[in-house]
């Protein structure tokens, strides 16, 4: 519990519902240090938040949304492939932000990463600090979450979202005022599904709470910090916001999120250019009779040849789609090649991989970076 025992005493003197001091959120921590194993092989060379969604590194959408909510100082908590963030975003001024970078020597987990950047924050002890997982695409009304935090006098406020099948998630039941009652592990039996509310990965912390997280060792904010805070009598407030929400942790979710950004189903101020149902980045080339639909993105320098059809997919920069290929709900890595007439559905092709002509790749198949699949090597007979 390391310091959490001090909460009960401090709570009595903290800003509670009776002292409605409204503060704006001006600082945010973004957690971007995960290995992104579920998104491999796209995360072999690129950390998950830097994989391109709707034409820009995914993180750009989150930075732009935080800026739009009034945040001007962001600390990126980096670990895996930490060196690629700063060359891209620099000091953040292009986005109207001041961005700082902190790299963990060893991955510290979500809670440890938050604690590790505490010294970079300028906020006062009671000020609200926004914290985001770096792989969440959401239309959350950030100002509403801050407003809830301030008016309830909570120590931590969490965005909760409702899901139809909560079995894969930790559950967060609340009372009728929205106060969090428990953090429950993934339910194993129907009786354990006591709510459809789950932790959506965006929080507002009272600045001083961050200092109560133990320093210098791995800590999970979900499994350790939040349950410990509850046990110590802290006030954790949930805000159920049922707007667009998607965890982009898996290839299927990532490609859908990118398409939803292009289609305008997911909001972002950072989409480069007007989209319609496709987004073709400058320097990409698309043959006149190629068909791009369903939120497809064609990255810089990529080429889609004649007769190719691409639906709801992301073609990363420099990739080549040869004549007559048919690609659906797939992610095609940087400089990868999809051969003539090949049919790809729900697949991930790693950077630099070459898929020869006349292959058929199906749901869930992943081709590793720089792999080569000879022409006609993968086929499914019609009775399968
Ligand atoms: P998977 O390996 O596919 O589970 O992905 P992940 O490594 O991103 O893990 P997860 O989705 O659980 O992480 C949630 C968020 O926390 C992501 O934005 C991660 O980048 C971030 N994160 C996870 N672990 C760490 C860590 O040790 N340090 C930092 N700085 N961020 C982390």
Domain with 314 in it: what CATH number?
Answer: 2.160.10.10
Judging by beta carbons within 10 Å of its beta carbon (0-12, 13-18, 19+), is residue 260 exposed, middle or buried?
A: buried
242 lies in a domain? yes
261 lies in a domain? no
**Ligand 1 in contact with 102 (CB < 6 A)?**
no
Contact 210, 31 (CB under 8 A): no
For residue 69, give its domain range.
Answer: 4-251
Q: Quick one: 196 and 61 in the same domain?
A: yes
265 lies in a domain? no
**Ligand 1 in contact with 110 (CB < 6 A)?**
yes
Give the pLDDT score at 382: 59
pLDDT tens digits for range 197-255: 999 999 999 999 999 999 989 999 999 999 999 999 999 999 998 899 999 999 999 99
Q: Quick one: 133 and 246 in the same domain?
A: yes
Strand order in the sheet with 348-349: 278-280, 296-298, 314-315, 331-332, 348-349, 366-367
Determine whether 186 is an active site residue: yes
Q: Quick one: 107 and 183 in the same domain?
A: yes
Of 251, 285, 312, the residue at which a domain comes to its end is 251
Q: Quick one: 164 and 130 in the same domain?
A: yes
**Ligand 1 in contact with 113 (CB < 6 A)?**
yes
Q: Out of 20, 48, 186, 291, pick the active-site residue.
A: 186
Give the pLDDT score at 145: 96
171 lies in a domain? yes
CA 118 vs. chain centroid, Å, equals 22
Of 251, 284, 307, the residue at which a domain comes to its end is 251
Which residues of the chain fall short of a pLDDT of 50?
Answer: 1-6, 8-19, 384
The atom of ligand 1 lying closest to the CA of 109 is 27
Q: How many domains does the chain have?
A: 2
Q: Quick one: 244 and 292 in the same domain?
A: no
Give the pLDDT score at 15: 42
Q: Quick one: 72 and 215 in the same domain?
A: yes
**Ligand 1 in contact with 35 (CB < 6 A)?**
yes
* 351 CA from centroid of ligand 1 (Å): 22
Of 208, 234, 251, the residue at which a domain comes to its end is 251
Q: Quick one: 325 and 241 in the same domain?
A: no
Q: Quick one: 115 and 232 in the same domain?
A: yes
269 lies in a domain? no
333 lies in a domain? yes
Helices (H), 140-291: 142-152, 207-210, 226-231, 251-263
Distance CA 251, CA 10 (A): 44
Q: Quick one: 312 and 182 in the same domain?
A: no
CATH of the domain at 45: 3.90.550.10
Place of tokens 């007559």: 324
55 torsion bin: left (phi>0), alpha (psi -120 to 50), beta (else): left
174 lies in a domain? yes
The atom of ligand 1 lying closest to the CA of 39 is 3
262 lies in a domain? no
Q: Quick one: 282 and 187 in the same domain?
A: no
The atom of ligand 1 lying closest to the CA of 247 is 11
């Amino acid at each position: 519990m390391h310091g959490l025992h001090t909460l009960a005493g401090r709570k009595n003197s903290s800003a509670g519902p009776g002292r409605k001091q409204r503060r704006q959120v001006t600082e945010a921590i973004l957690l971007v240090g995960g290995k992104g194993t579920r998104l491999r092989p796209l995360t072999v060379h690129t950390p998950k938040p830097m994989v391109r969604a709707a034409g820009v590194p995914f993180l750009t959408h989150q930075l732009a949304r935080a800026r739009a909510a009034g945040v001007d100082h962001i600390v990126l908590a980096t670990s895996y492939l930490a060196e690629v963030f700063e060359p891209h975003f620099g000091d953040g001024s292009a986005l109207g932000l001041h961005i700082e970078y902190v790299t963990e020597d060893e991955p510290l987990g979500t809670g440890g990463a938050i604690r590790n950047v505490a010294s970079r924050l300028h906020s006062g002890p009671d000020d609200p600090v926004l914290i985001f997982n770096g792989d969440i695409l959401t239309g959350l009304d950030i100002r509403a979450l801050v407003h809830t935090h301030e008016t309830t006098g909570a120590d931590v406020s969490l965005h909760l979202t409702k899901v139809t099948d909560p079995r894969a998630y930790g559950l967060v039941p609340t009372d009728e005022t929205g106060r969090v009652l428990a953090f429950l592990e993934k339910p194993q039996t129907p009786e354990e599904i006591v709510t459809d509310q789950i932790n959506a990965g965006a929080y507002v912390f009272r600045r001083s709470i961050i200092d109560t997280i133990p320093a210098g060792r791995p800590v999970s904010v979900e499994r350790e910090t939040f349950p410990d805070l509850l046990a110590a009598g802290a006030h954790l407030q949930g805000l159920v916001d049922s707007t667009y929400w998607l965890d982009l942790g898996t290839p299927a979710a990532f490609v859908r999120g990118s398409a939803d950004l292009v289609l305008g189903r997911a909001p972002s101020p950072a989409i480069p250019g007007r989209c319609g149902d496709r987004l073709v980045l400058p320097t990409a080339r698309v043959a006149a009779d190629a068909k791009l639909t369903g939120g497809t993105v064609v990255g810089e320098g990529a080429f889609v040849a004649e007769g190719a059809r691409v639906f709801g997919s992301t073609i990363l920069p420099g990739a080549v789609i040869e004549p007559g290929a048919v690609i659906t709900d797939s992610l095609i890595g940087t400089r990868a090649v999809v051969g003539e007439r090949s049919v790809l559905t729900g697949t991930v092709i790693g950077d630099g991989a070459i898929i020869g002509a006349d292959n058929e790749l199906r749901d869930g198949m992943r081709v590793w970076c720089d792999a080569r699949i000879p022409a006609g090597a993968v086929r499914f007979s019609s009775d399968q």
